[in-house]
């Protein structure tokens, strides 16, 4: 088994790795680090959560340990598609370079230009940036990229999805031709392959997993449901989401809930909070300070449910996420892999569940085609609950009906007794009439005496 010590890294870096709790490199690290240390271009293809970030931060720190940065001319550049991923990369550099004197700057939106300009003016060894903010600084004349020795493009396929490819090509043109390039992507779309053929020189290709595969440690499932009405589809999905969370119980220690639209992120988060769940939204329209505070709360365990758009599908390095819920079926099949990759990380078990209406059929088929397997179907917790409630209600109603049957009242019982006595007397009278035809018949024992007397006199006269 390969250890980090076998990769010929700087002893100071090895000490930081050991203190971080790591002893054995992942497959992507085993393949990428030696090639990067040799100065070769690297093309890394690996699914999210496989340790890609350390596979380029470690050799960069090793290479940059000697030398000094000049003002406005960073020695290395790391491009990330989102603020969250850029912040994660910055944290990795802080962790692994704690015993190596390197300066760092993070250029992302939502932060003052003035603060970032001050850092760049001092000179930085490592510049971590999103494409848009980097070009903003360059166009303002605050930044030169002619001193870049190592350039990293992380999550290139996400860059493609977000429309950053023209910016990436422009940035490549601003860096020296002699630079070393480390290029990482989870998938290799045609456009991505074109860029690698154009800007990488004889790269070492490191592919540690089949493209766009889900980790085997993730248990997947999908609930197929028919909305009551088209305008109630979102409401029905929120009911199903709460039912799935309730069914998981204590096993769901925390979870990320993905929505396709930012508006649904806010609505879903508000709905969960209304029903007593500790939830908060995160998407691109929020202030950076709010996004950072929300992510910190989720990492620290103070927040249980993070409702997110795809801006957070990548770049969240939280190893202990127990569940991922796809509130919406992603329109891009590869996004499904990146979403559920937030759970089941670092060898842990994870669970990913999704809700699919009939109109999501094509997108669901595309996901299963990409995975080359059918996602197991789950029972709709709302239908099961309704059925149970209906059965219980029927049983309660039946019991109430039995209890509500009228009991004979005392007056009614007395009446039946009188009727019984009347019938008995009537029968006795009929029997006597057979013995004596002169017995008055018809009025029973209630025959008035004056009628009986008159009747007896007529009988005597006749």
Q: Per residue in 361-380, pLDDT tens?
A: 999 999 999 899 999 999 99
Average pLDDT for the chain: 85
Q: Which of 207, 228, 245 is the last residue of a domain?
A: 207
- Same domain? For 290 and 361 the reply is yes
**404 part of a folded domain:** no
pLDDT at 50: 77
What is the average pLDDT across 286-314? 85
Helix axes 233-248, 381-404, angle to 10 degrees: 80
- Same domain? For 190 and 326 the reply is no
Please, are residues 42 and 206 in contact by the beta-carbon 8 Å criterion? yes
Sign of CA dihedral 74, 76, 77, 78: negative
CATH number at residue 130: 3.40.50.300
**352 part of a folded domain:** yes
Examine the pLDDT at 49 and tell me if it is beyond 50: yes
**229 part of a folded domain:** yes
- Same domain? For 104 and 17 the reply is yes
- Same domain? For 159 and 21 the reply is yes
Domain that holds residue 158: 4-207
pLDDT at 335: 83
- Same domain? For 236 and 334 the reply is yes
pLDDT-based confidence at residue 73 (cuts at 50, 70, 90): very high
Please, are residues 8 and 38 in contact by the beta-carbon 8 Å criterion? no
Examine the pLDDT at 410 and tell me if it is beyond 50: no
Q: Which of 207, 227, 246 is the last residue of a domain?
A: 207
pLDDT-based confidence at residue 403 (cuts at 50, 70, 90): low
d(Cα 410, Cα 354) in Å, to the nearest integer? 64
Examine the pLDDT at 75 and tell me if it is beyond 90: yes
- Same domain? For 123 and 236 the reply is no
Output phi, psi for 222, to 5 deg. -140, 140
Q: What is the tens place of the pLDDT at every residue in 335-348?
A: 898 889 888 876 78
pLDDT at 437: 47
Beta strand pairing call for 279-282 and 76-79? unpaired
Please, are residues 102 and 126 in contact by the beta-carbon 8 Å criterion? yes
pLDDT at 65: 92
Examine the pLDDT at 408 and tell me if it is beyond 60: no
Provide the domain count of the chain. Answer: 3
Examine the pLDDT at 116 and tell me if it is beyond 80: yes
**Region label for 212, one of left (φ > 0), alpha (ψ between -120 and 50) or beta (otherwise):** left
Angle at 164 between CA 292 and CA 144, to 5 degrees: 85
Q: Which of 207, 230, 255 is the last residue of a domain?
A: 207
Sign of CA dihedral 33, 36, 38, 41: positive
Picking from 331, 12, 288, the residue whose alpha carbon sits closest to that of residue 133 is 288
pLDDT at 420: 53
- Same domain? For 453 and 374 the reply is no
- Same domain? For 283 and 375 the reply is yes
- Same domain? For 201 and 242 the reply is no
- Same domain? For 16 and 118 the reply is yes
- Same domain? For 292 and 193 the reply is no
pLDDT at 449: 62
Please, are residues 200 and 41 in contact by the beta-carbon 8 Å criterion? yes
**What are the distances in angstroms from CA 384 to CA 57, 379, 387, 389?**
49, 8, 5, 9
pLDDT-based confidence at residue 454 (cuts at 50, 70, 90): low
Q: What is the tens place of the pLDDT at every residue in 5-27?
A: 899 999 999 999 999 988 899 99
**389 part of a folded domain:** no
What is the average pLDDT across 306-330? 83
**388 part of a folded domain:** no
What is the average pLDDT across 126-142? 95
Please, are residues 306 and 294 in contact by the beta-carbon 8 Å criterion? yes
- Same domain? For 96 and 179 the reply is yes
Q: What percent of the chain stands above pLDDT 90?
A: 57
**397 part of a folded domain:** no
**354 part of a folded domain:** yes
Higher pLDDT, 210 or 99: 99
């Amino acid at each position: 088994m390969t250890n980090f010590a076998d990769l010929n890294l700087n002893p100071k870096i090895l000490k930081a790795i050991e203190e971080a709790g790591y002893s054995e490199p992942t497959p992507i690290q085993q393949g990428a680090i030696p090639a990067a240390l040799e100065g070769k271009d690297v093309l890394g293809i690996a699914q999210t959560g496989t340790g890609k970030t350390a596979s380029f931060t470690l050799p960069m720190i090793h290479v940059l340990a000697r030398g000094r940065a000049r003002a406005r001319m960073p020695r290395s550049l790391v491009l990330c598609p989102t603020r969250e991923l850029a912040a994660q990369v910055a944290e990795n550099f802080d962790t692994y370079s704690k015993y190596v004197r390197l300066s760092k700057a993070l250029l992302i939106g939502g932060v003052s230009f003035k603060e970032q300009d001050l850092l760049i003016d001092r000179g930085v060894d490592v510049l971590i940036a999103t494409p848009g903010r980097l070009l903003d600084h360059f166009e303002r004349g605050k930044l030169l990229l002619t001193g870049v020795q190592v350039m990293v493009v992380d999550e290139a396929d996400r860059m493609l999805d977000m429309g950053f490819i023209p910016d990436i090509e422009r940035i490549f043109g601003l860096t020296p031709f002699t630079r070393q390039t480390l290029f990482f992507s989870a998938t290799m779309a045609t456009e991505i392959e074109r860029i690698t053929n154009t800007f990488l020189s004889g790269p070492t290709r490191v592919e540690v997993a089949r493209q766009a595969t889900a980790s085997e440690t993730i248990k997947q499932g999908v609930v197929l449901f028919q909305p009551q009405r088209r305008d109630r589809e979102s409401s029905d999905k929120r009911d199903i989401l709460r039912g799935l969370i309730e069914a998981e119980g204590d096993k769901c220690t925390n979870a990320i809930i993905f929505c396709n639209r930012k508006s649904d992120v806010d609505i879903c988060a508000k709905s969960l909070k209304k029903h007593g769940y500790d939830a908060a939204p995160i998407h691109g329209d929020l202030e950076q300070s709010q996004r950072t505070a929300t992510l910190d709360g989720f990492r620290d365990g103070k927040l249980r449910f993070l409702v997110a758009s795809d801006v957070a599908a990548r770049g969240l390095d939280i190893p202990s996420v127990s569940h991922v819920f796809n509130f919406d079926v992603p329109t891009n099949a590869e996004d499904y892999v990146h979403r559920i990759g937030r759970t089941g990380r670092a060898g842990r078990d994870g669970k990913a569940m999704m809700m699919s209406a009939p109109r999501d059929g094509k997108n669901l088929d595309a996901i299963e085609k990409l995975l080359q397997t059918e996602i197991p179907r789950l029972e709709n917790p709302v239908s099961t609950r309704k059925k149970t409630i209906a059965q219980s209600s029927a049983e309660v109603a039946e019991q109430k009906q039995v209890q509500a049957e009228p009991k004979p009242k005392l007056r009614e019982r007395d009446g039946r007794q009188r009727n019984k006595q009347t019938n008995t007397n009537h029968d006795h009278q009929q029997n006597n009439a057979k013995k004596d035809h002169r017995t008055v018949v018809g009025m029973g024992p209630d025959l008035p005496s004056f009628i009986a007397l008159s009747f007896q006199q007529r009988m005597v006269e006749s």
